[in-house]
Homo-oligomer: A and B are copies of this chain.
């Protein structure tokens, strides 16, 4: 399989990775969720080169993750804003942040703290089951072929 074909696999991981899996793309999305919207702000904050940033933004727009909006101001600036599909990637970013917060933290502590406006407290993201609301662990999850599976996806064994 070539890298540019993984979006065609019958696998939700592969399909999502084809959207967010290019180098720098996750750092761009991180900044989107922090409110960054302008080309030069991305470039300064991330330090990615301009050609690559232009390519990634273009692809995120083509995938429906970002939308290029003309800012009203007379200099006619553009903004890349998250669409609803883009905002739906928030759990992916939060899961990534949380792993870094717990497994790659220095003695100084976390780089960023997250506050939940609804309840007013600092929090960690927790993944729970939509049916019983209990926190999920890898060992408590099994997998079986769904209606969109190709005749092959068989390895639905246990985890770890």
Contact = CB atoms under 8 A, between A and B. Distances in A.
A113 to B, nearest CB: 4
A62 interface: no
A61 interface: no
B1 A111 contact: no
A153 interface: yes
One complex includes copies of this chain to the number of 2
A111 B47 contact: no
Interface string A85-117: 111111111111111111111101111111111
B116 A141 contact: yes
Interface in A37-80: 41, 45-48
User: Could you tell me the dominant secondary structure of chain A's interface residues?
Assistant: mixed
Contacts of A134: 116, 118-119
Nearest to A160: B82
B127 A95 contact: yes
A148 B105 contact: yes
A48 to B, nearest CB: 7
A24 B6 CA distance: 10
A153 to B, nearest CB: 7
Contacts of A138: 33, 82, 87, 90
Interface of A: 1, 3, 6-7, 10-17, 19-21, 23-24, 26-27, 30-36, 41, 45-48, 81-82, 85-106, 108-119, 121-134, 136-150, 153, 155-160
